[in-house]
Structure 1
Amino acid sequence: MLILAIFIALVALIFINVPIAVALAVGGIIGLLATEGVSSLPTVALDMYDGSTKFSLIAIPMFVLAGAIMNAGGVTDRLINFVTALIGFVRGGLAMVNIGVSLFFAEISGSAVADVAALGSVLIPQMKKRGYSAPLAAAVTSSSASLAIIIPPSIPMILYATSANTSVEQLFVAGFVPGLLGAAGLMFVAYMFALRYNLPVEEAFNMPRLRKTFIDALPAFSLPVIILGGIFGGFVTATEAAGLAVIAALLVGLWYREMDFKHLKRAMLDGGMQTAIVMLLVAASVLMGGFLTRARVPQEIAAAILDMTTNQYLILLIMNVFFLIIGFFLHSAAAIILVIPIVIPLIHAAGIDPVHFGLVVTLNLAIGQQTPPVASVLITACAVARANIWEVSKVNLPFVAVLLAVLLLCTYVPAVPMFLVEYLYR
């Protein structure tokens, strides 16, 4: 009865626009007071502090900062020029350039919102000038930005690994193949739109121009080499790679001598606020998670589902439906922090690999970023494109279908995402 009352109070607080972190903390404190009394209150601040100062969480502000430095240092423009020279000769090439640059940007920032804000402000106006409708430009930018939480490094993966006490490096490796498959599928859909609407070819293929733009962008290519090479090679942890990424992004920005410090300051402030929100969520979730664990709620949920079925694929189907629904209403960080501590005992009891499940959760939340009413990434793209969210959502359906297909493939053919993990770590 107490659990139900706290859940109703939590939902009510969220619906009246109380921040989710505050609602979680209030719910956790009420639960502790009801079960352990006032004597539990002195440890609240210490528990919240300990929960939000885990070493792996340092990677979050570092990757956000690296993405901000990259965008302010002239790296983004050079990437756009190179990808345009590489695939701009294809009909609808600017949409594919958008997806291709997002694929690269994803390897630095780990944040889909940062991706769509940074690249959308540059590419969406150009797409509209070249005859793309505002809804199509926003849909391409929004859906491709979600690659940022699938391709390593990924902020939601870091949060999941912290919540589930599993390896963030293995999660990063597992996300590599699904991210590439998603990018290929999104490019195919963009090409279909280009044929339907007779969208323009950007430029004829020119080998000298490709060579020139490649050499110009060569310093920028060191960033994913440092991050992914360091992690995959076992030389650094994800947190150490984040610190190296900041240093490398600064050096590349200084090499280009185009550092826009005004833009960098604004991006750093925005990134700092985003990180603060995430850390507050993490801290608040410790209270709620501690109460739920002592009340044995996760264990009871696991036992109830296992009484119905022990089939791993059926359990994954239930989890997929659950997280797709959650994605309609919660930001990815909030969904992970709120739900993972509750369902992870079920995953262990069912014998499901927590790394595989982490990838499944991440793919679900990537889709959630594209589905209103919350849809933080979609809303950001609509704001940049000045397009109606429902019109963009209609155009975005084929792109979301690609992400859904990748989700189903990775859920039910685990060898697709996990073979690299098996090869490198097991």
Structure 2
Amino acid sequence: MTGVILFGGFVALVVLGIPVIRALACSAIAAFLYAGFGRTSFLVPQQILEGVDAASLLAIPFFIMAGNLMNAAGVSDRIFAFASAVVGRFRGGLAQVNILASLIFSGASGSALADIAGLGTIEIRAMRQRGYNADFSAALTIASSMLGPLIPPSIGLIVYAYLSETSVVRLFLATLLPGLLLAAMMMVNVAWLARRREMPREEPASLREIGSTAIHGIGALVSPAIILGAIFTGVTTATEAGVLACLWTLFLGWLYRSLTLRDIWNAARSTVTATAFIMIIVGFSALVGWLVAIQALPQALADFTLANTDSKFVFIGILSLFLLVIGCFIESVPAKIILVPMLLPVLDKFGVDRIQFGVLLTLALSIGIATPPMGVGLFIASKIANRPIENVAAAILPLMLPLLLLLVMIAYWPALTLWLPTLVMG
């Protein structure tokens, strides 16, 4: 019954429109009291404080700050200009630019919503001016932004690494190939749609123009290489790489003369707000994790699952569908915090690698930003494009094919996520 109050209560409150933080706090405290711990109420603040007292979580505010600074410093514009010069000449060229720009930006920000809020404004405006359908422009911006959680440094992966006690660097390596593969599949899908719908193409850029945009935006373009190179070579930890990303972006803002003190202040304020939201959830997750462990809920779930199926193939399929549904109702970070402590023992019994599951979980929940009723990305892109949400939601359906195909590949082809980290780290 404790599990029903904890998880059922949380889902019910979210569906009723209660903010995620309040829903998590109310359901956790209600389950805590029902389990008979009312006389030890001091454990609530104790577990919350212990939950956020982790050095690895320091990477989150730094990468959020880096993403905010990049948008304020005009890094997004330079990335878009370079991508347009490289692939704009093809049929549906600006649609391809949308994907390529998101791929580059993701390597420095690690956030889908930062992509939509920053690049999205530029991409949607440019595509509409060139005659692209407004709903399609907004839908593609949402779809391409999902490269953010997959291309390191991903904020969602840092949270998962903390919850599952796995290596952040190993997770970053595990998502690199799936992220690049997703970008390639998106480009192929868009090329097919562009021919069917006769989308416009841009005037071919000369080699001189491509070189000019590359030189103009060289600082922005090498940002992913600097950040990821520092992590993968062991020069910095993930947290130190977040600091490096902030310092590099500040340097770019000074170099481009595009970053004011007001911009830095606004970026810092947005960072504090976003970080506070995440940390409050992480704090309550420690209470949830403690309660789940005390009540032996993971073991009960493992026993129930094994009693109903002993097929790893069936289990992975059901798990993937379950995560897709959860992503429609709960945002990625709180969903991970609720689900990971419960699912890890079951995964271990079925022999599912925690690194593989982390990538699967991240992608499945990320798809939720494009689906009602939560659909945070859907709301942001619809507002930017000034289009009805239901229209954008319908336009994104054909763009979901690469995402769902990659989800199946990750679920049933472990080598896709495990080959690179094993090759590099053993």
Per the normalisation by structure 1, the TM-score is: 0.96
Q: Partner letter of residue 216 of structure 2?
A: D
Shift of 1:200: 2.0
Match of 2:202 in 1: 202
Match of 1:235 in 2: 235
**Residues in 1 aligned to 2:167 and 2:423: alpha-carbon distance in whole angstroms:** 15
**Residues in 2 aligned to 1:212 and 1:355: alpha-carbon distance in whole angstroms:** 41
Shift of 1:92: 1.3
Match of 1:304 in 2: 304
Provide structure 2 residue ranges, at least 5 long, that are not aligned to the other structure.
Answer: none
Match of 2:268 in 1: 268
Q: Partner letter of residue 136 of structure 1?
A: F
Shift of 1:33: 2.9
Q: CA 1:9/1:311 → structure 2, altered by over 3 Å: closer, same or farther?
A: closer
Match of 1:75 in 2: 75
Q: Contact 1:25 / 1:287 at 8 angstroms: preserved in 2?
A: no
SS in 2 for 1:369: helix
Shift of 1:198: 2.4
1:314 and 2:314 correspond: yes
Indicate the RMSD between aligned Cα atoms, in angstroms: 1.7
Identity of aligned residues (%): 38
Q: Contact 2:151 / 2:172 at 8 angstroms: preserved in 1?
A: yes
Q: Deviations over 1:129-176 (max 9, x none)?
A: 110111010011010011100111111111111111111111111111
Match of 2:285 in 1: 285
Q: Deviations over 1:388-413 (max 9, x none)?
A: 22221222112111101011112111
Q: Contact 1:370 / 1:400 at 8 angstroms: preserved in 2?
A: no
Match of 2:46 in 1: 46
Q: CA 1:122/1:268 → structure 2, altered by over 3 Å: closer, same or farther?
A: farther
SS in 2 for 1:76: helix
Q: Contact 1:371 / 1:378 at 8 angstroms: preserved in 2?
A: yes
Q: Partner letter of residue 409 of structure 1?
A: M
SS in 1 for 2:42: helix
SS in 1 for 2:148: helix
Which runs of structure 2 are paired with 1:351-362 in the superposition (5 Å)?
351-362=351-362
Q: Contact 2:132 / 2:200 at 8 angstroms: preserved in 1?
A: no
Match of 1:393 in 2: 393
**Residues in 1 aligned to 2:2 and 2:77: alpha-carbon distance in whole angstroms:** 55
**Residues in 1 aligned to 2:219 and 2:2: alpha-carbon distance in whole angstroms:** 57
Q: Contact 1:327 / 1:368 at 8 angstroms: preserved in 2?
A: yes
Match of 2:415 in 1: 415
Match of 1:329 in 2: 329
Match of 2:18 in 1: 18
Shift of 1:419: 1.1
Match of 1:190 in 2: 190
Q: Partner letter of residue 178 of structure 1?
A: P
Q: Deviations over 1:12-55 (max 9, x none)?
A: 43334332222222332233333343332112212101101311
SS in 2 for 1:148: coil
Match of 2:213 in 1: 213
Q: Contact 2:5 / 2:31 at 8 angstroms: preserved in 1?
A: no
Which runs of structure 2 are paired with 1:151-190 in the superposition (5 Å)?
151-190=151-190
- Point out the more displaced range, 104-113 or 141-150: 104-113
Q: Contact 1:67 / 1:108 at 8 angstroms: preserved in 2?
A: yes
Match of 2:342 in 1: 342
Q: CA 1:412/1:12 → structure 2, altered by over 3 Å: closer, same or farther?
A: closer
Q: Partner letter of residue 38 of structure 1?
A: G
Q: Partner letter of residue 71 of structure 1?
A: N
Per the normalisation by structure 2, the TM-score is: 0.96
Shift of 1:318: 1.7
Q: CA 1:6/1:362 → structure 2, altered by over 3 Å: closer, same or farther?
A: closer
SS in 1 for 2:147: helix
Shift of 1:264: 4.2
Q: Contact 2:355 / 2:417 at 8 angstroms: preserved in 1?
A: no
Shift of 1:5: 3.9
**Residues in 2 aligned to 1:317 and 1:266: alpha-carbon distance in whole angstroms:** 44
